[in-house]
Amino acid sequence: MPSMKAVRIHAYGGTDVLAYEDAPRPTTGDGEVLVRVHATSVNPLDCAIRAGYMSAYLSYTFPVILGVDVSGVIEEIGAGVATFKRGDSVYARGVVTRDGAYAQYVAVPASDVAAKPKSLDHLHSAAIPHATLTAWQALFGLANLTKGQTVLIHGAAGGVGHLAVQLAKWRGAKVIGTGSRNLDFVRGLGVDEAIDYSTTPFENVVSNVDVVLDTVGGDTQQRSWQVLKPGGILVSVVQAPSEESAKAHGVRGAMVFSAPPIGETLAEVAKLIDAGQVKPEVSAVLPLQEIRKAHQMVEASHTRGKLVLQVV
């Protein structure tokens, strides 16, 4: 069986369980494509899976390859796939329940693949899929954000946050973003109001918003209920909102557990990127071999936007 280089974990644990090693090259099933990975990225989801925090929701047979973001070139086409051909430059969100993109090759359902944005290289394209799909589902799938509404985005400089700001502005919403050391970056994204959470409690200056996008959780989420207008919604990507708190404030709460139609949405996002409406921020690029350092950086919140791993 052909082999490849990949990062696998053989058990849950700290960053020391991440092993850069030889692994079997995946085969392509019906309706799938095999992508030669040029770049992937590290998401907080990857760190949570590695640490075992998602074991109650996701079941794996070890060893397993992590990583859901991929940008690369199609190497093989599975049976029944007519939408792509060998050599196409694509990007995708891999299937979280199977071997992923911390590898030289990954097999992905063709329905989860789209042509890579023409204006971006693979490194920047790899920063997009998971974070953008999460923001898209939160803002448009769950909150149904519309033109003229107001959204408060916590962690507006982060991987999901900085893309959510741009998507919300594209939709025509008023955007309030929170941040601290990256506040100038947040302002540069086009927010209507930027709040330094380290000096100003946001609930003292924000009120009557239609949507809160929570990428922080904990106390930040709890304090967010009071800034919503009656009937508003708090959508979290990190922690399931309390049904009791939502009911007490006359609002709704939701948690992002799924993605919109992946390939279809990524194709639309690529058009927005090529039109200059959305731009991913890549704060650091590391080789795949430095995966342990990459996870440490993401867990320490030392990144602005996304941290990308170069595979080829």
- How are the residues of the chain apportioned to helix, strand and coil, as percentages rounded to the nearest 5? 30, 30, 40
Kindly report, residue by residue over 256-284, the tens digit of the pLDDT.
999 999 999 999 999 999 999 999 999 99
Distances (CA, A) of 157 to 59, 80, 134: 31, 41, 15
pLDDT at 41 over 70: yes
pLDDT at 89 over 80: yes
Question: Average pLDDT of 172-184?
Answer: 94
**What tokens were used for 236?**
């979290």
**Fold category of 3-128+280-310 in CATH:** Quinone Oxidoreductase; Chain A, domain 1 (3.90.180)
CA atoms within 13 A on the CB side of 235: 25
State the DSSP code for 26: P
Mean pLDDT, rounded, of the chain: 96
pLDDT on residue 75: 98
Please report, for the chain, the start and end positions of each structural domain, with discontinuous segments joined by +: 3-128+280-310, 132-255
Question: Average pLDDT of 9-25?
Answer: 98
pLDDT on residue 302: 58
Contact criterion met (CB below 8 Å) for 263 and 114: yes
Domain at 132-255, CATH homologous superfamily: NAD(P)-binding Rossmann-like Domain (3.40.50.720)
Kindly report, residue by residue over 123-151, the tens digit of the pLDDT.
999 999 999 999 999 999 999 999 999 99
pTM: 0.96
pLDDT on residue 290: 98
